[in-house]
Amino acid sequence: MPRRERNKFVKRGQILDLLIEDYAFGGKGIGRIRNEHGEFVVFVPNTLPGQLVKAQVKKSSKTYAECKLLEVIKASEDEVDVPYQQIPGAPYIKLPIEKQHAYKKQSTLELFKRIGKVSNIEDKFDEFVTSPNTFHYRNKMEYGFSAIGYNHELKTDVNEFTLGFKKRGTWWCGDNLNNDSGLFDKQVEDNLKLIRAYCQNTGLAPWHAPRKEGFFRYLVVRKSYKTNRLLFNLVTTSYDLPKFNLDAFAQYLVELFGDRVAGLLQTTNDEIGDRTIAITGSINLVYGEDKIVEELLGLNFEISMKSFFQTNPKSAEKLYSKVIDYALDDKSAIDDSVVMDLFCGTGTIGQILASRSNNTKIVGVDIVASAIEDAKENAKRNGIEGLKFYAADVGKFLNEHPEYNNKIKTIILDPARAGIAPKTLKKIINLNADRLVYVSCNPATQARDTEQLMQSGYTIKKFSLVDQFPHTAHIETVFLFEKA
């Protein structure tokens, strides 16, 4: 077996100081190492051109390396001061929003040229849809407890009761959120340090990630923009639960936030994995209600703690409006017909489409049973008829319902980040629909699927980009494909 050639530029684990020179899709800053061996490309996520950063090599090949960002040593000249505590979830909050949009558009178009093989992608571009709220746009936030904190002055880990987010680049170290991050609810985040002090004063321990032990794990908060109310979920282990007065904690939240508190839930999670809701855990209502109501485009949706719902509802209205516009681009293909809404989640798109068309039957399919139950309840609440929702794997559903072959003119696709499995995409293509409206939260997998759709006779009529998550690298895409 030939010996693997040693990389002449970097080695795994090496810490580098890099000037970021360019930007690639997904928020990957591009740095370059130049020496007597030539030039070598290094990708560092969550960085910007003009920044000087400290990064650690995670993996490398002969032609490039991928790094983990450890620290921004010097800001880019494009960055400006903002009155918010910076957090890992908003790496570009200091970059003016117009420049964020430019980076997102340019890198996404390049992605579809490279992966989707769409050479004329610029000709198909319709619109860049901006978020109505640049700041405080999120309706859900998960704050983690940790027994290990970070001292920014000493630049080292310390034993400390923390409540906030993971320090960038670590899985074991928390970083306190002491005031508004600019992403969620200002009143909640300005008071988070008081909630932390309340929990610390109980004497019960926060989660210690390396030891896999502790009591306090997460505080999850959902917010309704329609009612301005808050739903809290305290996630703990079960071991010391009798020692913690949940009723008193609920009253403390009411003291802080008044009648904005819709309810408090307590979730038990004894699993060692790093997630809020455990498969084997329980969730109990402590105070108030277990759901809040949100409105999208005139329709009401009940949201529980487990429900999937768009994180930026005001931008989601714009996203869904674009999807509906594309679906109704040929209204004759919608009225008096059956539309398939695949990977439908809680059925939001299908309900809106049904409410804006004539005698349209919607068939919604999603593998998440609880989402389908929410979809059925929401349709009933909104008085929308002509909807059928199925809890099933999309590929298996299409196998079991061949009666829809050649009967569907329009399909709406809104898959998860992983995109559409190749076998499932072939089954969707075999339905032989005239048009596909394909929504994606991960353009990389959509670009991959685009190549297969084009090889199968579909062409791109138009597409738009929707900025659902300002200050991050994420961008949503909406494509309208038509049979050639």
Separation between Cα atoms, residue 58 and residue 66, nearest integer Å: 6
Nearest partner of 252 among 194, 291, 207, judged by Cα: 194
CA–CA distance, 85 with 258 (Å, rounded to integer): 25
Q: Rounded CA gap, 100 and 49, in Å?
A: 12
90 CA to centre of own chain: 12
- 173, 199, 344, 441: the catalytic one is 441
Question: Quick check: is 441 catalytic?
Answer: yes
φ/ψ bin of 289: left (φ > 0), alpha (ψ from -120 to 50), beta (otherwise): beta
Report CA Rg, the chain: 24
DSSP letters spanning 285-305: EEEE-SEEEEEETTEEEEEES
Structure tokens at 201: 């004063």
Is 14 annotated to bind a ligand? Reply is: no
Query: Is 414 assigned a ligand-binding role in the annotation?
Result: yes
- The encoded tokens of residue 248 equal 């008193």
Environment class of 83 (CB within 10 Å of its CB; exposed 0-12, middle 13-18, buried 19+) = exposed
**366 marked among binding-site residues:** yes
Distances (CA, A) of 57 to 13, 172, 338: 5, 19, 51
User: Would the annotation count 78 as a binding residue?
Assistant: no
Helix (H) / strand (E) element for 478: namely: strand 476-483
CA–CA separation, 63 and 41 (whole Å): 7
Name residue 268's amino acid. Answer: T
C-beta atoms surrounding 276 within 10 Å = 17
Two structure tokens written together for 422: 């190749």
Tokens of 229: 């109310």
First to last CA, the chain: 50
The CA-atom distances, in angstroms, between 445 and each of 24, 97, 414, 416, 418 are 16, 25, 12, 10, 7
Binding residues: 310, 343, 366, 414
**Active-site positions?**
441
Binding residues for S-adenosyl-L-methionine: 310, 343, 366, 414
